[in-house]
Amino acid sequence: MDKKELYTLVKQYREGTIDINSLERLRLFLQTEEGQRLLEETWDDEFEPPFYIGDELVQSRVFEKISNDPRLESTLLYHKSFFRRYWRQISAAAVLFLIGVASTLWWYGMEQKVEDRISMETSDVIVPASNKARIQFEDGSFIELDQITSDTIIADRGLHIFKKADGSISYAYTDHAGVQKEKYNTIVTPRGGEYNLTLPDGSKVWLNAATKMRYPLKFAKGGRMIELEGEAYFEVAKQMNGDKFVPFYVCSGKQKIEVLGTQFNVNTYGLTYKTTLIEGKVAMHYEGTSGTRVLRPSEQAVYSTSTGTNTVQSVDPSYSMAWRSGKFAFDNVSIYEVMAEIARWYDVEVDFEGDMSQVRYSGSISRFEKFEQLLQLIEWTDLVTFKVQGRRITVMK
């Protein structure tokens, strides 16, 4: 069996189209050294990180799922004993590959009903977020951006707002004198929405779900300042006033970020603000404290709004950037944080039964998975179960 055939069989398995003979052949191949080697190569070439429970890979649960496939009930006795005997010898690469398949392709149950353990009592269709946002004007009027057609121009006293073919928006001046610098717009993404825009100075901003950003239609010459609630990724355009760089500021409550031409992510959900620098340099300012914290690439400033304390730590920025690439990515975070992200993205409400402070996850998965299958992947850890009633999700042990 070569790599292409292996990939094809695994894909057929998750789609429910694999025949009984091919399934048996796949099972036997995964038990050989050659199968392990090829799995490792395929994993390296094709798939992304799997889910973990704390630091423990959920390998046994995945292999149990495969070995207990009901379509091979008549031939399981021999192979179950084989798995019990040689389980410890199966390579980690094979484990990684199969869990990666679960998170990127999904297994054969993709077209079948979700397991009964996820209690579903809903007629609502819960879908991932899409390009949805509202621009609010100072006079109280607003525009729902997802309801206007692409390649549309909105003119307002010297300012043109363009909605491009890709759905994003940008600004252009036709009469600089007609645009008052103190005039502001506010863009709001709802739960279940995201958007991106180009500011009047050319800076690009991507807004995550449940985010609000207020910005002037004409930036002052001495500094560019916006206000942010939620999460956004910035690529700040360099702007000069003579021979001086015009700084860019992002304000969130008592936190002010001074940007010196850079790329960074700001997350102000909840009581803890996280600013992660990707490229360039930013200076962190906090009301009520003296001094400035300067971030370098791959550093993250963490600010507690409840205590007023702030720290700087080295991080892998890919976790903060994952949402821009259409993924959830977690690095040993609590089930509360996992479900908060899911709730904002799928626009659902989440309740918890009992204390789950010790339940933690690591790993990544597409933000565009079907909702029921996303819950099923989390349930595979055997740490939590879910009950779905309408758009309300109850997490239980």
- Mean pLDDT, the chain, whole residue set: 78
pTM: 0.74
How much of the chain exceeds pLDDT 70, in percent?
71
Q: Which of 287, 320, 353 is the last residue of a domain?
A: 320
Q: How far is CA 66 from the centre of its chain?
A: 28
Q: Residue 292 falls within a domain, yes or no?
A: yes
DSSP β-ladder status, 56-57 and 52-53: antiparallel
Q: Residue 119 falls within a domain, yes or no?
A: no
Residue 306: give its domain's CATH number. Answer: 2.60.120.1440
What are the tokens at 164?
A: 């491009």
For every residue of 291-357, DSSP letters joined together read: S-EEE-TTEEEEEETTT--EEEEE--THHHHGGGGTEEEEEEEEHHHHHHHHHHHHT-EEEE-S--T
Q: How confident is the model at residue 77 (pLDDT cuts 50, 70, 90)?
A: very low
Q: Residue 118 falls within a domain, yes or no?
A: no
Same domain, 212 and 308: yes
Q: Is 281 exposed, middle or buried (0-12, 13-18, 19+ CB in 10 A)?
A: middle
Q: Is the pLDDT of residue 59 over 50?
A: no
How much of the chain exceeds pLDDT 90, in percent?
40
274 DSSP β-pair partners: 267, 302
In the chain, the number of structural domains is 3
Place of tokens 């995964």: 30
Residue (of 193, 127, 190, 126) closest to 389 by Cα position? 126
Q: Residue 117 falls within a domain, yes or no?
A: no
pLDDT score recorded for residue 96: 35
Q: How far is CA 375 from CA 58, 189, 369, in A?
A: 15, 24, 10
Q: Which of 264, 291, 320 is the last residue of a domain?
A: 320
Q: Which of 63, 86, 112 is the last residue of a domain?
A: 112
Q: How confident is the model at residue 180 (pLDDT cuts 50, 70, 90)?
A: low
Instruction: Write the CB contacts of 87 (distance below 8 Å, at least 6 apart in sequence).
Output: 60, 63
Same domain, 301 and 356: no
pLDDT score recorded for residue 334: 93
Same domain, 66 and 153: no
Q: Residue 122 falls within a domain, yes or no?
A: no
d(CA 192, CA 391): 12
Same domain, 316 and 333: no
Q: Domain residues for 378? A: 326-396
Same domain, 357 and 290: no
Contact between 150 and 164 (Cβ < 8 Å): yes
pLDDT score recorded for residue 328: 93
Same domain, 72 and 138: no
DSSP β-ladder status, 392-396 and 385-389: antiparallel
- Mean pLDDT is lowest, of 81-85, 291-295, 376-380, for 81-85
d(CA 254, CA 109): 48
Q: How confident is the model at residue 30 (pLDDT cuts 50, 70, 90)?
A: confident
Same domain, 213 and 300: yes
Same domain, 358 and 310: no
What are the tokens at 149?
A: 């057609």
Q: Is the pLDDT of residue 304 over 90?
A: yes
pLDDT score recorded for residue 137: 84
pLDDT score recorded for residue 7: 76
* Amino acid found at 280: G
Same domain, 153 and 233: yes
For every residue of 72-128, DSSP letters joined together read: GGGGHHHHHHHHHHHGGGS-HHHHHHHHHHHHHT--GGGGSPPPTTSEEE--S----
pLDDT score recorded for residue 14: 56
Residue 229: φ, ψ to 5°: -130, 125
For 221-275, how does the pLDDT look when each residue is reduced to its tens digit (9 = 90+)?
Answer: 888 999 999 999 999 998 888 888 889 999 999 999 999 778 999 999 999 999 9
Residue (of 105, 108, 68) closest to 84 by Cα position? 68
CA torsion sign for 69, 121, 345, 256 is negative
HSE-CB for 328 with a 13 A CA cutoff: 33
Same domain, 335 and 300: no
Q: Residue 120 falls within a domain, yes or no?
A: no
